[in-house]
C-alpha cells in the first residue's frame, strides 16, 4: 500500500487541528442556550462570516478530491461547475430569493414550503432533503477515510469512525454555531494548505499557458468544443451545460439546498443575508485555481514520461481521486505535507459538518415537530437537535459504505441532486413568482418531478433506456446523462405544477403576503447608496464571470 511519509511535525499539525476543532465546539457550547442558537447560530453573523461559512459548507469531498480527479478525467470543462454552474444561481439567491427566505423568519427551506403551500409539501421535501443529506454526508466520510487509508495507511474502519466521531462531538455541542466557526477556519486552511500545489505545478511546468499547451483541445477549452459533444471531455453539448448544469442543477442546489442556504439564514439582518452568497461568489470563482489547475497540472505531468507522475490504480483502472494527494506528496516537504493532508481532512469535515447541521435542523423542525411532536418545547427541540446530530452521523457511516460502491463520487453526487434539488427548484420558482400556484399543484408536481428523475436514473443505470435518448445526441457520458436528467425532471415538475394548479383550489392572497413576488414590500434597497447595495456587487461578480469565460473560451 502506497503511503505519504509523515514526519513528527506533520503529525503534530494534524493532531493540533483535531484538538482545535473539538476545543472550538466545547468553548461555544456555553453560548448555545436556546434552539435558535443551536440551529441558526442566533442570527448574529456578519455577511463576511456567513459568506465564508456559506462557501465552506460546499468545500467537501466533491470540491477537493472529486473535482481535481474529474479535471484529470474531463479537462478544464469541469470549471463549468464553478462558473456557469454556480455564480448565476448564487447571485439570484442573494438578489431575488433571500428577501422571501429571510423576511419570513423561517428555520429551513421546507419551512418556506409550508408557509407558501401546505404541510404535506413541507413534509415531502423534509423527508427527501433529509435522505439526500445523509447520502451526501456519507460521501464526505468515505472520501476522508479514503485519504487516511490510501495515503496514511490507516485501517478503513478506523478512519471512518475517527472522522465521524470528531464531527459528531463538535456539532452536537453547539450546533450550527460551532459548524460555522470551524468552517471559517477550514476555509483559510484549505486555501493556505492547497494553493501551493498549483503554484508549484506551474513553476515546474513553466506557466498556466504552458500547462494548457500540453493538453489536447478537448481538455483545454471551456466552450469552443461544446458545439459537438464528441469533441469535449465530458461528451456534453453547450445546451446540456446551460440547461442541465447552468440552470437546473445549479439553481436547484444554490437556491434550495438548505445545507448552504442555512448559512445565509444565520446573518444578522436582511442586507447581510443577501450579501452572503454574493460575497461567496467571488471566492467560488477563484477556487478553480486550486482544484482545476491542480488537475490540469496532473494531466500535463502524467503525459511526460520523465516526470515519474502516475495516478494510483484500482483493479487496473486509474483512481482519478488520487491526483491531488499525489501532487501533495510530490511538492510538499515534511511539515507542509501535514498541512496539506490537514487541509484535505478539513474540507471533508467542513462538508460533513454542513450536512449534519442541515440534517438536524430539517429533522427537528420539519419532521419531528411537524409530524411527531407538535407541542415540543424549545428545550426539547434543542435536545432533539443534538440527538439527531448523533443519529445522522451514525447513519452517514452506513451511507459511506454505499458511496464506496460507486465508481465516481462526482456522478453519484450529481445523481442525488437531480433527484431532489432539480424538481424542487421548479416548485420554489413558481411558488415565489406566481401567486396562483396551488398547494396541490406544488405537491403533485414535486412528486412527479422526483419520481421521474429517479426512474430515469434507474432506466439508464440498468439499461432499460439508451442514455443517448435522454441526452438527445449520438454520444452520452454519465455526466451528460446527469445534466439532461435534471433538466427533464425540472420540466416535468414545472409543467405539471402549472397544469394541476389551473384545476385546484388557490390560497387566499392575504395569506401569501411576504412570500410571493408582487405581494411583498420592496424594502431591501431603501435608503442605501447604489455602490453599497447587493445589486452593485452582483454586477461586479457577473463582469468577472464573463471575463473568465471569454479568457478560457
pLDDT in tens, 508-533: 888 888 778 776 666 555 567 777 78
Please provide residue 477's backbone torsions phi and psi, each rounded to the nearest 5 degrees: -100, 170
On the question of pLDDT at 433 being above 80, the answer is yes
Least confident of 184-188, 224-228, 284-288, 540-544: 184-188
Host H or E run for residue 314? strand 313-314
> To which residue does cell 455602490 refer?
531
Least confident of 31-35, 344-348, 421-425: 31-35
CA distance 50 to 401: 32
Domain locations in the chain as residue ranges: 8-402
Please provide residue 64's backbone torsions phi and psi, each rounded to the nearest 5 degrees: -95, -80
| Count of H-run helices and E-run strands, the chain | 24, 2
> To which residue does cell 439508464 refer?
460
Nearest to 295 by CA among 31, 66, 109, 40: 66
CB 448 within 8 A of CB 496: yes
Per-residue confidence (pLDDT) for residue 340, from 0 to 100: 79
Q: Residues 297-321: what's their mean pLDDT?
A: 78
CB 357 within 8 A of CB 176: yes
Per-residue confidence (pLDDT) for residue 1, from 0 to 100: 45
CA distance 440 to 68: 43
CB 150 within 8 A of CB 157: no
Q: pLDDT digit string (tens) for 175-207?
A: 555 566 666 777 777 777 778 888 888 888 888
Phi-psi region of 314 (alpha: psi -120 to 50; beta: other; left: phi over 0): beta
Nearest to 439 by CA among 217, 171, 120: 120
Residues 6+ apart with CB under 8 A from 40: 107, 176, 262, 265, 266, 361
Percent of residues, the chain, with pLDDT higher than 90: 11
Nearest to 254 by CA among 453, 87, 491: 87
Residues 6+ apart with CB under 8 A from 184: 49, 52, 53, 56
β-sheet bridge partners, residue 318: 313
Confidence label for 150 from pLDDT (cuts 50, 70 and 90): low
Residues 6+ apart with CB under 8 A from 77: 219, 221, 222, 226, 232, 233, 234
Average pLDDT, the chain: 79
Q: pLDDT digit string (tens) for 63-81?
A: 777 788 888 888 888 888 8
Q: Residues 211-220: what's their mean pLDDT?
A: 79
Q: Residues 328-344: what's their mean pLDDT?
A: 79
Cell of 278: 454574493
Q: pLDDT digit string (tens) for 67-120?
A: 888 888 888 888 888 899 889 999 998 888 887 777 666 666 777 888 888 888
**Fold category of 8-402 in CATH:** Sodium/glucose cotransporter (1.20.1730)
What predicted TM-score, i.e. pTM, was given to this entire model?
A: 0.79
Host H or E run for residue 318? strand 317-318
Alpha helices in 371-477 (DSSP H): 378-404, 409-433, 439-461, 467-471
DSSP 70-81: HHHHH-GGGGGG
Please provide residue 503's backbone torsions phi and psi, each rounded to the nearest 5 degrees: -120, 10
Q: Residues 4-33: what's their mean pLDDT?
A: 71
Confidence label for 170 from pLDDT (cuts 50, 70 and 90): low
Residues 6+ apart with CB under 8 A from 20: 185
Cell of 428: 420554489
Per-residue confidence (pLDDT) for residue 42, from 0 to 100: 47
CA distance 118 to 409: 35
Q: What angle do CA 202, 208, 209 make, to 5 degrees?
A: 135
Amino acid at each position: 500500500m502506497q503511503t505519504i511519509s509523515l514526519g513528527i511535525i506533520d503529525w503534530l499539525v494534524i493532531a493540533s487541528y483535531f484538538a482545535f476543532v473539538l476545543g472550538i465546539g466545547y468553548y461555544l457550547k456555553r453560548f448555545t442556550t436556546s434552539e435558535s442558537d443551536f440551529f441558526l447560530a442566533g442570527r448574529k453573523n456578519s455577511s463576511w462570516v456567513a459568506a465564508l461559512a456559506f462557501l465552506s459548507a460546499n468545500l467537501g469531498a466533491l470540491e477537493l478530491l472529486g473535482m481535481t480527479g474529474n479535471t484529470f478525467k474531463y479537462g478544464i470543462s469541469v470549471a463549468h461547475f464553478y462558473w456557469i454552474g454556480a455564480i448565476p444561481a448564487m447571485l439570484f439567491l442573494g438578489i431575488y430569493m433571500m428577501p422571501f427566505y429571510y423576511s419570513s423568519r423561517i428555520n429551513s427551506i421546507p419551512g418556506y414550503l409550508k408557509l407558501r403551500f401546505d404541510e404535506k409539501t413541507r413534509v415531502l421535501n423534509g423527508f427527501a432533503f433529509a435522505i439526500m443529506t445523509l447520502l451526501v454526508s456519507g460521501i464526505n466520510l468515505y472520501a476522508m477515510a479514503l485519504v487516511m487509508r490510501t495515503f496514511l495507511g490507516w485501517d478503513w474502519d478506523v478512519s471512518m469512525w475517527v472522522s465521524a466521531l470528531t464531527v459528531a462531538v463538535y456539532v452536537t455541542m453547539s450546533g450550527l454555531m460551532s459548524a460555522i466557526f470551524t468552517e471559517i477556519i477550514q476555509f483559510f486552511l484549505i486555501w493556505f494548505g492547497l494553493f501551493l500545489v498549483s503554484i508549484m505545478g506551474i513553476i515546474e511546468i513553466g506557466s498556466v499557458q504552458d500547462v494548457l499547451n500540453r493538453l489536447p483541445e478537448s481538455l483545454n477549452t471551456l466552450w469552443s468544443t461544446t458545439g459537438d459533444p464528441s469533441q469535449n471531455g465530458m461528451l456534453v453539448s453547450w445546451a446540456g451545460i446551460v440547461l442541465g448544469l447552468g440552470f437546473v442543477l445549479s439553481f436547484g442546489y444554490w437556491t434550495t439546498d438548505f445545507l448552504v442556504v442555512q448559512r445565509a439564514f444565520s446573518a444578522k439582518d436582511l442586507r447581510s443575508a443577501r450579501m452572503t452568497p454574493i460575497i461567496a461568489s467571488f471566492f467560488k470563482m477563484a477556487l478553480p485555481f486550486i482544484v482545476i489547475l491542480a488537475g490540469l497540472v496532473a494531466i500535463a505531468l502524467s503525459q511526460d514520461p520523465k516526470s515519474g507522475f502516475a495516478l494510483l490504480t484500482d483493479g487496473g483502472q486509474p483512481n482519478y481521486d488520487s491526483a491531488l494527494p499525489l501532487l501533495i506528496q510530490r511538492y510538499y516537504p515534511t511539515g507542509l505535507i501535514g498541512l496539506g493532508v490537514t487541509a484535505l481532512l478539513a474540507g471533508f469535515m467542513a462538508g460533513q459538518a454542513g450536512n449534519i447541521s442541515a440534517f438536524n435542523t430539517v429533522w427537528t423542525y420539519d419532521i419531528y415537530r411537524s409530524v411527531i411532536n407538535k407541542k415540543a418545547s424549545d428545550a426539547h427541540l434543542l435536545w432533539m437537535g443534538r440527538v439527531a446530530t448523533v443519529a445522522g452521523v451514525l447513519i452517514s457511516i452506513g451511507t459511506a459504505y454505499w458511496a464506496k460502491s460507486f465508481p465516481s463520487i462526482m456522478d453519484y453526487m450529481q445523481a442525488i441532486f437531480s433527484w431532489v434539488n432539480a424538481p424542487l427548484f421548479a416548485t420554489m420558482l413558481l411558488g415565489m413568482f406566481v401567486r396562483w400556484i396551488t398547494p396541490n399543484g406544488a405537491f403533485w408536481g414535486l412528486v412527479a418531478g422526483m419520481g421521474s428523475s429517479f426512474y430515469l436514473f434507474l432506466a439508464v443505470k440498468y439499461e432499460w433506456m439508451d442514455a443517448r435518448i435522454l441526452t438527445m445526441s449520438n454520444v452520452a457520458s454519465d455526466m451528460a446523462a446527469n445534466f439532461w436528467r435534471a433538466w427533464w425532471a425540472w420540466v416535468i415538475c414545472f409543467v405539471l405544477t402549472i397544469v394541476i394548479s389551473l384545476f385546484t383550489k388557490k390560497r387566499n392572497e392575504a395569506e401569501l403576503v411576504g412570500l410571493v413576488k408582487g405581494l411583498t414590500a420592496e424594502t431591501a434597497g431603501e435608503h442605501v447608496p447604489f455602490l453599497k447595495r447587493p445589486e452593485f456587487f452582483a454586477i461586479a461578480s457577473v463582469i468577472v464571470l464573463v471575463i473568465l469565460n471569454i479568457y478560457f473560451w
